[in-house]
Structure 1
Amino acid sequence: MPELPEVETVKRGLNQVSRNQTIQGGEVLLKRTLAHPVSIDDFITGFSGKAIAGWYRRGKYLLAEFSTPLNPNSDNSQNPEFSDLQTFSDGGLAVHLRMTGQLLWVSQDEPLSKHTRVRLFFPNRQELRFVDQRTFGQMWGIPPNVEISKIVTGLQKLGPEPFSEEFSIKYLTTQFQHRQRSIKTALLDQKLVAGVGNIYADETLFLSGIPPMTRCAELTPTQIETLHAQLVQVLKTAIDAGGTTVRNFLNVAGVNGNYAGQAWVYNRAGQPCRVCQTPIERLKLAGRSAHFCPRCQKTSN
């Protein structure tokens, strides 16, 4: 599943190619992709003739704000956090890529993939295609002046953004107190921190020297401070690399992310640690895999 760096990469690409472009129409090829409204006609009517004022990211969600082409009343040039926004005055669009979703900016002459689910048409015969092999991805049409989180209800459950002031050492310390679940499981909880998944949780824990099975309540103040700093840095590094492509992730131009080639532990079970040469191990925690170096992340107990 695309995580924060991949979704951020897509967001930035979409702002480059589609911002201020007017949507001229669309086509829905798989109806169950629509989470709201469920009517294909209502979905297409909601965006036809609207321009893209800008794209935002909240956790793993992508959100497009619309504006009227003759009177754009939205400006995201300062790139505010989406959490600062409650409504879109001209409506908008939300997308969750789930496991295999891709948003690709292509020519309308490009042959359709059999996994194409939704098409949005733009000037100069360009289009934005939502391609999704496993069909778990969803799209929401957001009506004007309606609270966004009432339409995209998953937004209500998200914790703070990793780059926000709210995501502080003090916040993590409070959240970890008395928690007996593993730190790896905690980092995957979107209520704790938005956007982090398997890849960057593994990478963060390696760079922090913390075994993934460590209970949250056992973390020392120094470990929590290190964890906070490393998580922010890992995500920034991955964004700079254009994200990670393990199976399906592509940016809007159809290009793979480059972070996987420099990953410390993720998806490297059996391979030598890049620091100490000890083979990387893999285990299951709450049904999810965790990759770690048994030497670099050795418990102090």
Structure 2
Amino acid sequence: MPELPEVETVRRGLTSLVVGKVVTYVHVHLPRIIRHPSVAEFQQRLVGRTFEGVDRRGKYLLFDVRPYELISHLRMEGQYRVVPKEESVAPHTHVVFGLSDGTELRYRDVRQFGTMDLLAEDEPRPTGLVTLGPEPFDPALTPHILHLRLHKRVAPIKSVLLDQSVLAGLGNIYVDEALFLSGIHPLTKASRVGERRCELLLAAIREVLTKAIDAGGSSIRSYVDGYGRHGGFQMQLHVYAREGEPCFVCGQPIEKIRLGGRGTHYCPNCQPRNGRRKSMRIVEDTHV
């Protein structure tokens, strides 16, 4: 599933590719992708509108087509591409937006879980968007605030960080990586992560996300950006998808467990259950 770095990379690419262009037609080949309004009204509202901007909130893409806002969630494998309209249409392309420069913005989704809502200012936003927690890069999010959001939660810290109402945009890959960098075992109760460790955790989250965005995201499965390019952060992963391989810090094999139905990767030496790290040091990206 695209997480914050992937969605942010897509947003940046689409900003360059569609902003300032007018929608000339809309073809919807899978009606259930459009949650609101009806497909006919979705098409009618959009034709003639200009893409004024592309924003992001958590894992949602927010297209400014004033007086409306197009809210898109990529879910598992949603992809946007901007291509010449003469290019053959790939299988599983469900929505096509004609653009005034002769290109098309195409939405492709093999799993068909993605959603689009085209809303006027007075229409209610999707519940998942309204209930999002703070953005990880929000300057108002301090270690103290993060601690307040965690200290009453008895669920494992991995599960709590995946809760989008706690922090927006984090998913399986980057939670595993941030917990590794901060030396926190994924099964540690969130309530046991004190304010000092929240300082380490927040710094790790921001470090991992920044590096992932700089690398264009992680192409673990099918992710590509608006230009069709794959990300490169998968080459910098310390624990995720490295089960059985040696830890870059201590050499111990990376372990994998199931937590809340998610594969969870960690180093048993650098992230001990008792919270006392045995040989953790600053991680240098010598493996890249």
TM-score bracket for the superposition, by shorter chain length: over 0.9
Taking the TM superposition and a 5 Å limit, the aligned residue runs for 1:121-160 are: 121-143=98-120, 145-147=121-123, 150-160=124-134
Mapping of residues 277-296 of structure 1, within 5 Å: 277-296=251-270
Q: CA deviation at 1:233?
A: 1.2
Letter in 1 for 2:47: S
Distance 1:300 1:248 in 2: 37
Partner in structure 2 of residue 13 of structure 1 = 13
Aligned to 1:63: 62
1:57-82 C-alpha deviation (Å, 9 max, x unpaired):
00100011124xxxxxxxxxxxxxxx
The alpha-carbon deviation at position 285 of structure 1 amounts to: 1.3
Residues 80-119 of structure 1: CA deviation (Å, up to 9, x unaligned): xxxxxxxxxx112111000010011111111111200000
Would you say the 8 A contact 2:147–2:194 is kept in 1?
no
Map residues 163-174 of structure 1 onto 2, 5 A cutoff: 163-174=137-148
Q: Within 5 A, what are the aligned runs for 1:81-92?
A: 90-92=67-69
Which of residues 175, 189, 197 in structure 2 aligns to 1:201? Answer: 175
The sequence identity of aligned pairs, in percent, is: 43
Shift of 1:300: 3.3
Counterpart residue number, 1:82 = none
Q: Give 1:238 shift.
A: 0.5
Among 71, 77, 83, which residue is 1:100 paired with? 77
Native 8 Å contact 2:187 2:273 kept in 1: no
Q: Does 1:190 align with 2:164?
A: yes
1:81 aligns to what? none
Counterparts of residues 104-119 of structure 1 (less than 5 Å): 104-119=81-96
Q: Which runs of 4 or more aligned residues in structure 1 lie more than 6 Å from their structure 2 counterparts after TM superposition?
A: none
- Letter matched to residue 270 of structure 1: G
Structure 2 counterparts to residues 20-31 of structure 1, below 5 A = 20-31=20-31
Is 1:46 aligned with 2:45? Answer: yes
Alignment partner of 1:254 is 2:248: no
State the AA in 1 paired with 2:184: I
Q: Counterparts of 2:166 and 2:127 in 1: how far apart (Å)?
A: 17
Cα separation, 1, equivalents of 2:205 and 2:34: 33
In structure 2, the residue corresponding to 1:24 is in which secondary structure?
strand
Q: CA RMSD in A?
A: 1.2
1:166 positional shift: 3.4
Where do 5+ consecutive residues of structure 1 fail to align? 68-89
Query: Which residue identity does 2:236 align to in structure 1?
Result: Q
Structure 2 unaligned runs (5+)? 276-288
Q: Does 1:216 align with 2:203?
A: no
